[in-house]
Amino acid sequence: MQPPAPFPPGPGPAAASPAAVAAALARHLAARGITGIYTATTYKFAVISVTAELTVWTNGQQLWCNRHGQRHTWPAADLAAAAARIAALARSAGDSGRSPDSGNRM
């Protein structure tokens, strides 16, 4: 499966590694109470599973996701602002900000 294509990169400084951006985003989200985050990285991309309903991709320069058919993008250079918007998306439409199995106790 190929990740969704990002918008073309804009001018600016060299991108951070996708792994570094994913790790920093996970820390920012955890500070906002979003836990149970999973990340996977390669040389070119990282995927951040924020909730069962929300997955964010990064190439080190941009972060992006599709939510309810709408494309959302943020510059990786402003992770605090991106994390605030991603946390809001995670909490919208019934996402709890917890890992998918955290409420399924038997």
Look at 99 and 46; give whichever has higher pLDDT. Answer: 46
**pLDDT (tens digit per residue) in 39-94:** 999 999 999 999 998 999 999 999 999 988 899 999 999 999 999 999 999 998 55
Whole-number Å distance between alpha carbons of 99 and 38: 9
Q: 33-53 burial, b for 16+ CB within 10 Å, e for fewer? A: ebebbebebeeebbbbbbbeb
For residues 76 and 58, the answer to whether their CB atoms sit within 8 Å is: yes
Angle formed at CA 78 by CA 72 and CA 84, multiple of 5 degrees: 60
User: Residue 43 corresponds to which tokens in the numbers above?
Assistant: 């040389």
pTM here is 0.75
Q: Is residue 106's pLDDT more than 50?
A: no
